[in-house]
Structure 1
């Protein structure tokens, strides 16, 4: 599949304890020496010096870098669709700084979420604010491209609407509405679809991909648990193979089949090739290396269901 797409991994989920510069660099190198991966997603919470170092390592290893601002949005409670103008501007400024960091790391794309949905009855107003924010953010990335030599892809990730993160975007029809309006003005805007969020949205992944096909330019694969009281319940991205998990080999295979059906692997992307990244996080007491190995085995089994080896 190396000539079809680039397999990536969300570093800050797989190695949540890597917070110091030394730990980040060490764990990033652990991924980079594994030829299974051609892409890595690192956190926008890292400072510029560390991101520059990571970018240099990836250049040597011939691995693409993507920047994830999801931890930034979640940890600071940011909302690009905030109804209070000052709050919206604060979120927008933070994401503009993430754009700057992406260029420092030589990342090809930036992914983030909308932020929380507002009180019931004001969602439409919030989506209008979100569109305004996204257009300004994309134009900022375009302006920075003039001095950076390439254009950064700006990817809004679709999150759950009512279970855990309660993000404004959200259900696939809302994602389509917002993406249509932003893309009409900004060619560098796309959506990130995460298999692990589909059960939390109570949506069928194949239907979601079909509806959002014109805008899907970045993909995550992970697991989810809906069972109340389970330690992995919600948007926690546990390993595959959990008894209570919603996604496993069959679901990953069906997701990959749907990606082929919508032409994802033939798309022009801001990355060298379309990216599919594992987003898995160890439960307490679990080893990051084993959880990553679990994800690789799950993918290989799913891929083999599509292309059986003779």
Structure 2
């Protein structure tokens, strides 16, 4: 493409993936990313200390960067399940998601993203109804603040084993939600397509009416290989399923399906993380090179 990718998408990264908290101080990370004008968006997550939250809010505000908020770690860390068939467990997940809406609003984000919880075949239908209940309640709460709620589509049997899930089931859920809440949408992630045994074309076309946000990355789905599952290793990682060609195919499908919107560009965030001692900044730089090459190969 001759046009810049920034004409059609708001390019972002997921802060806690690019700079894992075990190795990077969150405020240093936020400043580093906000000072890189390749990024139009920064996706952040929970910051438990009030002073850190305030400093982060000020940096994000000064940077003229779009803020998105991922509540996935708030669920995965303590093992909370928004489709828990135990009502007390479901309510705990709902509470943390509503708290996430409040924190997202404080940090300047326009909404939150989350994921479905684990499920079992014998209770799948009950879990589905529980997830509808949680999502509607969170959407209603967010709507009161003029905010959105997005569900990220994950694998259903490989790693996260989330209820949502394969693309057709995600489409059913999103359609049910849209009948109740206009502020709901889906996040699809290129790195999850290999883990759900689906292609870019199938996922994008199946979920076309409900997609509001994109992630891109890599995954290893060969059993016995390092970083197997939903680990988001860098492009070029040994045994990885995605690289420049797969990203190019993804861009082609987005173009064909009308997602190149210069008036209201979609967020497209890279979700890769350093693996086993790798340097997060080098991984970020390498990811940008893959994005730039795939975009350059895309026909006008």
TM over 0.5: yes
Q: Which string of whole-angstrom CA distances, capped at 9 and with x for unpartnered residues, describes residues 45-94 of structure 1?
A: 54454333223212211111111111111111111111111111111011
5+ long unaligned stretches in structure 1: 146-150
Are 2:178 and 1:217 aligned?
Answer: no
Are 2:276 and 1:275 aligned?
Answer: no
1:268–1:186 distance in 2 versus 1, CA, 3 Å: farther
The corresponding residue for 1:7 is: 11
List aligned pairs for 1:158-197, cutoff 5 A.
Answer: 158-197=153-192
The corresponding residue for 1:120 is: 121
Q: Which string of whole-angstrom CA distances, capped at 9 and with x for unpartnered residues, describes residues 154-183 of structure 1?
A: 100001100011001101111111111111
The corresponding residue for 1:306 is: 298
The corresponding residue for 2:248 is: 253
Q: CA deviation at 1:112?
A: 0.9
Q: CA deviation at 1:266?
A: 2.9
Question: Greater shift after overlay, 70-79 or 6-15?
Answer: 70-79
Q: CA deviation at 1:268?
A: 8.1
Question: Greater shift after overlay, 47-56 or 230-239?
Answer: 47-56
The corresponding residue for 1:38 is: 40
Q: CA deviation at 1:262?
A: 2.1
Are 2:229 and 1:234 aligned?
Answer: yes
List aligned pairs for 1:127-142, cutoff 5 A.
Answer: 127-142=128-143
Q: CA deviation at 1:138?
A: 0.3
Q: Which string of whole-angstrom CA distances, capped at 9 and with x for unpartnered residues, describes residues 268-287 of structure 1?
A: 86xxx310000001011210
TM-score (norm 2): 0.94
1:45–1:69 distance in 2 versus 1, CA, 3 Å: farther
Contact 2:9 2:262 in 1 (8 A): no
User: What secondary structure is seen at the aligned counterpart in 2 of 1:265?
Assistant: coil
Contact 1:48 1:104 in 2 (8 A): no
Q: CA deviation at 1:140?
A: 0.4
1:301–1:288 distance in 2 versus 1, CA, 3 Å: same
**Where do 4+ consecutive residues of structure 1 move more than 6 Å?**
none
Are 2:242 and 1:265 aligned?
Answer: no
Q: CA deviation at 1:265?
A: 3.0
Cα distance in 2 for residues equivalent to 1:34 and 1:226: 32
Q: How many residues align?
A: 296
Cα distance in 1 for residues equivalent to 2:59 and 2:255: 31
Are 2:101 and 1:106 aligned?
Answer: no
The corresponding residue for 1:206 is: 201
Contact 1:102 1:108 in 2 (8 A): yes
5+ long unaligned stretches in structure 2: none
The corresponding residue for 2:65 is: 63
